[in-house]
Amino acid sequence: MASIDIAGVKKVYAGGVTAIHSLDLAIPDGELVVLVGPSGCGKSTLLRMIAGLEAITEGTIAIDGTVVNTREPAERDIAMVFQNYALYPHMTVRGNLEYGLKNRGTPRDEIDRRVAEAARILEIEPFLDRRPRQLSGGQRQRVAMGRAIVRQPKAFLFDEPLSNLDAKLRGQMRIEIKRLQRNLATTSVYVTHDQLEAMTLADRLVVMNAGRIEQVGAPLALYERPETLFVAGFIGSPPMNLIDIGYLRDKGALALPEGTDLVGIRPDTIHLAPPEAPHVTLTATVELYEPIGGETHLHMRLADSGQLIIAAVPARTATREGAQVSLHVGLADLHPFNKETGRRTD
Amino acid sequence: MIENRPFLAFLTHLVLILGVVIVVFPVYLAFVASTHGSGDFMRGLVPLLPGPHLVENYGFMLNEGISTAGAPPLSIMLLNSLVMAVSIAVGKIAISILSAYAIVFFKFPLRLLAFWIIFITLMLPVEVRIIPTFKVVADLGMLNSYPGLIIPLIASATATFLFRQFFLTVPDELMEAARVDGAGPMKFFRDILLPLSRTNIAALFVILFIYGWVQYLWPLLVTTDSRYYTVVMGIKRLAATADAEPQWNFVMAAVILAMLPPVLVVILMQRLFVKGLVETEK
Amino acid sequence: MQAKRTIFPNKILPYMLLVPQLAVTIAFFIWPALQALKSSFEREDPFGFSTTFVWFENYRRLFVDPSYLNALGKTAIFAFSVTLLSMTLSLILAVAVNRVLRTNRLYTTLLVWPYAVAPVVVGILWWFMFNPTIGIAPYLLRGIGISWNHRVDGTDAMILVIIAASWKQISYNFLFFVAGLQSVPNSLIEAAAIDGAGPFKRFWTIVFPLLSPTTFFLLIVNINYAMFDTFGLIDATTNGGPNQATNILVYKVYADGFLGLNIGSSSAQSVVLMIIVIALTAIQFRYVERRVQY
């Protein structure tokens, strides 16, 4: 259990490519922080620098108060769960779990105790004497987590551990990981490109893009108040609609800050019936009626501009493709942005 | 990965440098010897630095050779080796690719039998059947000739297997599309399969060229006329004079010349060479 | 046996395509092999006029012939030593080259070219280095009190050919070990490092076990090489001597058959060698087919 402090960390590769521009992030003890972003944003690189698998070009990373820049992975007291599990194929599950403890000279009875405990928590007791190749993907993932747990490290590092699993399994494992982390209260850094996974797992969410941090905060905070255009478009599914402010000027009594030229509207804040609160009104033609089940996605073209927008409306909303509809969005649900800075203007 | 073991890094390079030295040193010595005059060896110790006679010695070996050893000038032997190596490489590739094509893309009775007959060649290196093979070649009147040097070595299981393996990975759709386009089997082979196989052919060529060049026992058996000696077998005659100590500077010049072509091929075409090695051993 | 799902319908063409290879194979491989088999059961009379069928007499004689048994022993020692020496050295070099990132290519180029050197040339090179009169090695050895003469001392001769043969194989083994090392997933190495294993421990507990398919494969190939591809090397250095000290099986076949003109014995030896090759190939194919899948 420990805090992780990342200060001014920069990563430049040998060819001159800057993967990470000066980053600062403070992760308090016991928190599950999720690093999320598109491929190549640097989230895995950052994780690997915490682990000691990549060198730090500038800045410091401290685990539990001690700067670990030059420490080998083994000396940092961290455990990692890899995307492809990285289980030792020539050892049994038990062998995989014991390996780290044996290397550190842990006494035999302590090893047995910890292995039994981890196997119990993760429900892998029946597999202890099997080889990894005899296990399914989900089982292997649990063994990988078991390997991390028995070490009782200062921090867990997860590198997209669920990417190789099918959707249903992913959902189940997500819950297990969250529950596990809560129980063990170990500081955890979790990397994923899946924004749904990020939203449901994180105590705090770190959205990264092109080697920089876009925004840090609780998942809902990022959802309800994205600070940058990138976060606005990345978090939330279906993605936020972005409409030019010129189009909206005559659609309602706007009172948006100076510098706003782009307005974001979340699909779930678009209503077909006019609300009580002050709102803007738009006209659009329905192009596609997508019944998802619990809700319906309407793909529509705005009148005059022809811009395609998406609304998430209640499941059995009465409309059909080709119909012209009136849309209403509360003024409070408008997210103002400046295109040039990419940032929120309020 | 962060590693704080500078000694290990130093040791690693030391090991590698030592390895390179072990690998290069014998050849370096040979090269040095080849650049000295004939008398320099009488002192009883081999010199360690190059001498001034490089052009002279090599020129002599290429043009005249050591006639007392019964070997022709090196230029003739080098030519024979070149003809042999290139022909074997080309020949092996040609007949193997055709056989692999037949086995993979056609179904016919005796297909399995043909496969096994080819497979058997793997288990019959020339060293294991020297006398009867020699007899066959002699009976066919192919001694002391290029065909005699080349043809018996041309059947190859490894090349056939390599092409077979590769052909199996060619998508069926390619063939079906070709047939729909009206292409017969030979047209498909020439216009589609062959271009696809280009890198494999190149890689194999490197390996087989070396194989053909380094042949020793077979040329030794089937050539008695010195005009057909290959450089690799001829070298031995130069070095093995029974009466006197061989003229090492000339012998080493010959050795360097004998080594040069295949070594150059490996170094210049390293990637293809490695690919060829790894593919043929699967 | 696998064929493609879609095939061409021609019936004659495949045979025509196969004719060149089958013709050469049958004429120069199968027929001579059968001839060798036949000769091994016969004995020529001293004048070469007639042959008598003698069943397994030639074989029986072989296995009680001290020089043949000697050849068997020498071959075993030779093959074992070359394999051990060459594979160990190349493994060390492969591990080393895998650790250096920038100069990797350069070292590799410098280490692989001996593959292209003919065995007989290798023999001459090392013979030159160990030449009792002007060789550099005997000179250095004399300096530390060891006298060297492989023309006279059987052990010296065996050491010479072992070293020479191993030298040539280093590059081949090196290449395959490097490929094998690279096939070990990097994430496993990283996981082991995080699990507290230092470089040496990582090698012995993770890398080396996972290298076993490559190791086994090279074992077979090296034994094959030592037994069959080293003919030129022996011929250039010791000619099987002195006094049978390096008369390995493949050399003996040539010596007895071509030089000694004992066709029956040489054929029997050929057949024995064939059986050994078949056994080695069978092991190789069976193991390669069942390549351990992790």
Chain C residues with CB-CB distance to B278 below 8 A: 175-176, 179
The model's pLDDT over A259-289, given as tens digits with 9 standing for 90+, comes to: 888 999 999 999 998 888 888 899 999 999 9
Q: Does B2 lie at the interface with A, CB-CB under 8 angstroms?
A: yes
Q: Which residue has the higher pLDDT, A49 or B282?
A: A49
C143/A108 Cα distance (integer angstroms): 55
For residue B4, what is the nearest residue in chain A, using CA coordinates? A72
In total, the C-beta contacts within 8 angstroms joining chain A to chain B are: 17
Q: How many residues does the structure list for chain C?
A: 294
Torsion of CA C202, C207, C208, C210, to 10 degrees: 140
Closest-CA distance of chain A to residue B1, Å: 4
CA distances from A253 to A277, A311, B163, C167 (A): 12, 21, 74, 87
Closest partner residue to C270 among B99, B128, B179, by Cβ? B128
Closest-CA distance of chain B to residue A53, Å: 4
The answer to whether the Cβ–Cβ distance between A70 and B3 falls below 8 Å is no
The answer to whether the Cβ–Cβ distance between C294 and A86 falls below 8 Å is no
Chain A residues with CB-CB distance to B1 below 8 A: 52-54, 72-73
CA atoms within 13 A on the CB side of B158: 23
C164/C118 Cα distance (integer angstroms): 12
Closest partner residue to B118 among C21, C128, C221, by Cβ? C21
Chain B residues with CB-CB distance to C217 below 8 A: 281
A270/B97 Cα distance (integer angstroms): 66
What backbone phi and psi angles, to 5 degrees, belong to B191? -90, -25
| pLDDT at B131 > cutoff 70 | yes
Mean pLDDT for all residues in chain B: 84
Query: pLDDT value at position C216?
Result: 87
Query: pLDDT value at position A215?
Result: 94
Paired residues of C188 in beta bridges: none
Over residues A47-75, the mean pLDDT reads 93
DSSP H/E element including A115: helix A108-122
Q: In the 8-state DSSP scheme, what is residue A240? A: P
Chain B residues with CB-CB distance to A71 below 8 A: 2, 4
| Sign, CA torsion C138/C142/C147/C152 | positive
Q: Which residue has the higher pLDDT, A186 or B228?
A: A186
Q: Which chains touch B (3 or more CB pairs under 8 A)?
A: A, C
| pLDDT at A129 > cutoff 60 | yes
C294/A88 Cα distance (integer angstroms): 9
Closest partner residue to C25 among B155, B232, B266, by Cβ? B155
Q: Which two tokens stand for residue B205?
A: 């060529």
B232/C118 Cα distance (integer angstroms): 7
For chain C, which domains are there? 55-291 (1.10.3720.10)
pTM of the prediction? Answer: 0.86
For residue B5, what is the nearest residue in chain A, using CA coordinates? A72
Paired residues of A4 in beta bridges: A27, A63
Query: pLDDT value at position B241?
Result: 64
The answer to whether the Cβ–Cβ distance between C197 and A104 falls below 8 Å is no
The model's pLDDT over B95-115, given as tens digits with 9 standing for 90+, comes to: 999 999 988 888 888 888 888
Q: In the 8-state DSSP scheme, what is residue B143? A: T
What backbone phi and psi angles, to 5 degrees, belong to C220? -65, -45
Closest partner residue to C120 among B12, B127, B216, by Cβ? B216
B78/A20 Cα distance (integer angstroms): 58
Query: pLDDT value at position A159?
Result: 95
A284/A264 Cα distance (integer angstroms): 17
Strands of the A295-302 sheet, one edge to the other: A270-271, A324-330, A279-291, A295-302, A308-314
Query: What ipTM score was computed for the predicted complex, to two decimals?
Result: 0.84
Paired residues of A279 in beta bridges: A330
Q: How many CB atoms lie within 10 A of CB C167?
A: 23
In total, the C-beta contacts within 8 angstroms joining chain B to chain C are: 308
Closest partner residue to A79 among C187, C194, C205, by Cβ? C194
Closest-CA distance of chain B to residue A73, Å: 7
Share of chain A above pLDDT 70, in %: 100
Query: Would you say A327 and A284 are in contact if contact means Cβ atoms under 8 Å apart?
Result: yes
Q: Does B1 lie at the interface with A, CB-CB under 8 angstroms?
A: yes
The answer to whether the Cβ–Cβ distance between C128 and B122 falls below 8 Å is no
Closest to C233 (Cα-Cα) out of C113, C82, C85: C82
Q: Which two tokens stand for residue C244?
A: 């049978």
The answer to whether the Cβ–Cβ distance between A53 and B2 falls below 8 Å is yes
Torsion of CA C11, C14, C20, C22, to 10 degrees: -90
CA angle at residue A319 from A318 to A322, to 5 degrees? 170
The answer to whether the Cβ–Cβ distance between B128 and C274 falls below 8 Å is yes
CA angle at residue A277 from A271 to A278, to 5 degrees? 95
User: 3-state class of A319 per DSSP?
Assistant: coil
User: 3-state class of B90 per DSSP?
Assistant: helix
Query: pLDDT value at position B40?
Result: 67
Closest-CA distance of chain C to residue B235, Å: 8
Residue given tokens 């290196």 in the structure block: B125
Q: Which two tokens stand for residue C65?
A: 């012939």
Reading chain C (294 residues) residue by residue, the pLDDT tens digits are 666 667 777 788 888 888 888 888 888 888 888 888 888 888 776 666 677 777 788 888 888 888 888 888 999 999 999 999 999 999 999 999 998 877 888 888 889 888 889 888 898 888 888 887 777 888 888 888 888 887 888 888 899 999 999 999 999 999 999 989 998 999 999 999 999 999 999 999 999 999 988 898 899 889 989 988 898 888 888 887 788 888 888 888 888 887 777 777 888 888 888 888 888 888 877 776 555 444
Chain C residues with CB-CB distance to B151 below 8 A: 24, 28
Q: Which chains touch C (3 or more CB pairs under 8 A)?
A: A, B
Chain B residues with CB-CB distance to A72 below 8 A: 1-4
Q: Which two tokens stand for residue B176?
A: 């079906």
The answer to whether the Cβ–Cβ distance between C187 and A84 falls below 8 Å is yes
The model's pLDDT over A172-225, given as tens digits with 9 standing for 90+, comes to: 899 999 999 999 999 999 999 988 899 999 999 999 999 999 999 999 999 999
Hey, of B41, B106, B231, which one would you mutate to test binding to chain C, going by the most C CBs within 10 A of its CB?
B106
A328/A331 Cα distance (integer angstroms): 9
The answer to whether the Cβ–Cβ distance between B103 and C10 falls below 8 Å is no
Q: How many CB atoms lie within 10 A of CB A112?
A: 14
Query: pLDDT value at position B191?
Result: 87
Over residues B216-233, the mean pLDDT reads 85
Query: Would you say A23 and A212 are in contact if contact means Cβ atoms under 8 Å apart?
Result: yes
Over residues A95-112, the mean pLDDT reads 93
Closest partner residue to A74 among C187, C196, C206, by Cβ? C196
B171/B105 Cα distance (integer angstroms): 12
Closest to B199 (Cα-Cα) out of B133, B278, B131: B278
Query: pLDDT value at position C292?
Result: 47
Query: Would you say A157 and A78 are in contact if contact means Cβ atoms under 8 Å apart?
Result: yes
CA angle at residue A102 from A100 to A108, to 5 degrees? 130
Q: How many CB atoms lie within 10 A of CB C276?
A: 18
C286/B115 Cα distance (integer angstroms): 17
Classify strands A32-36 and A204-209 as parallel, antiparallel or unpaired: parallel
Q: How many CB atoms lie within 10 A of CB A323?
A: 13
Query: Would you say C135 and C128 are in contact if contact means Cβ atoms under 8 Å apart?
Result: yes
Over residues B163-170, the mean pLDDT reads 88
Q: Which chains touch A (3 or more CB pairs under 8 A)?
A: B, C
